[in-house]
Amino acid sequence: MIDPGMPVVVVPARNEEALLPKLLRALSRQTILTRFREPLEIVVVLNNTDDGSGLAARHAVAGLPQLRLTMVDVHFPAGQAHVGSARSLAMGIGSAMIGDRAGVILTTDADAVPRDDWIDGNLRAIAAGADLVGGRIVGDPEEEDLLGPEFLRRAAMHARYAALRDQLAAAIDPLDYDPWPRHHDHTGASLAVRNNVYRDVGGLDPLPFREDLAFVAKVQAAGFRLRHAPEVSVTVSARTVGRAAGGMAECLRNWIREELSGAPILVECPRSVQARLILRRRLRVLQGRPPSLLRPCLDRLGLPETSYRSTVPGLIARFAADDPDAVGTMPAALAIAQLEQMIATSGALANAA
């Protein structure tokens, strides 16, 4: 019987013989374990693995009585052999373990090392009212250093731009359940979700890539609350050969290739970001209005008739969500300067929304 206060941690993995034991040792150091007699439940789904990941994981937990490992070794057919299938299966198993009681599913990646208070930080955010918690993702600094100063410069510019963009979002479209300070990460390397919310939205879909972002979008579109808790963080590998399409390793490879070719650092234009945020705020303030008043407001915003039957969170997800594939059209240094200016005048922008 799982302790009613103890969450379940689920991990998809493929050929992670070297890094999976490191994750398990980090989970064995979680501060939550000082308060519970029961071990922490860990679910690892090995996805089409042909190395010694399973044996390495068993050896790691053999000396860690504070962990109880459930391991599933599955070979998906070619079209389903991806992280989305593995994470969906892992989270489904975790949800079934929790059953009908109130509980929390946490998921991370096999190359991650959570902070010792990772679980406690997630549970505090959920106790404060969050339905879903995204943790801050930090690249392993020693591994990043090996990628060279040019890479570090490019990474720092992207990080600064992303942080300012999110600060502008907090100013134009403030959320009482996700206030500033916060971060902007909500990927599979660190997510925590109430089990009832997971079930209400129909679980995580087994998509071939970005299954984590799609799940977060689905939870938000259903009207649940996402918190980017600044105290929740994990360190992930800065490897350039990863396991998931569209993941961090692919991003790092792209940055390295761009540096080698001398490509400029281009990001989405802040004016486009600002327009999206203002629309998001204008939609959000419509929450709770009767349909008779909602329709003329949507007409004034230029939204199609097909939007009339949508909920406000659904409208935001459809018309005002961030685009991870937004085309970079402006040099990052110029965009950063524009964002800083926008933040300095964000009171006027918020009033305009």
Domain boundary among 219, 238, 257: 238
The mean per-residue pLDDT over the stretch 301-312 comes to 85
Work out the pLDDT band at 309, boundaries 50, 70, 90: confident
On whether both 270 and 217 belong to a single domain, the answer is no
Above 60 in pLDDT, residue 214?
yes
Handedness of CA 159, 161, 166, 170 (dihedral sign): positive
Residue 295 sits in the same domain as residue 343: yes
The pLDDT value recorded for residue 2 is 45
Beta bridge partners of 71: 44
Compute the radius of gyration of the chain from its Cα atoms: 21
Averaged pLDDT for residues 196-205: 98
Residue 246 per-residue DSSP state: T
- In angstroms, the CA 134 to CA 246 distance is 18
Better pLDDT: 334 or 246 = 334
Tell me the residue ranges of DSSP E strands in 173-312: 191-194, 226-236, 266-267
79 CB neighbour count, 10 Å cutoff:
8
Q: Are 288 and 211 within one domain?
A: no
- Minimum mean pLDDT range among 9-13, 99-103, 126-130: 99-103
The reply to whether 125 falls in a domain is yes
Residue 104, sorted as left (phi over 0), alpha (psi -120 to 50) or beta, turns out to be beta
The whole domain housing 206 covers: 8-147+174-238
At residue 37, the pLDDT reads 84
3-state secondary structure at position 284 = helix
- Does residue 3 form part of some domain? no
Rounded to the nearest 10 degrees, the angle between the axes of helix 149-172 and helix 270-284 is 30
> What is the CATH number for 193?
3.90.550.10
Q: Residue 246: what pLDDT?
A: 66
Q: How far apart are CA 329 and CA 59, in angstroms?
A: 50
Instruction: Report if residue 99 sits inside a domain.
Output: yes
Same domain flag for 195 and 279: no
223 shares its domain with 299? no
Last-in-domain residue among 218, 238, 258: 238
Determine, yes or no, domain membership for 82.
yes
Q: Is residue 254 part of a domain?
A: no
218 plus 298 within the same structural domain: no
The model's pTM is: 0.92
Q: Report, as an integer, the average pLDDT of 84-111.
A: 96
End residue of a domain, out of 189, 222, 238: 238
Number of domains in the chain: 2
Burial (CB < 10 A; 0-12, 13-18, 19+), residue 25, is middle
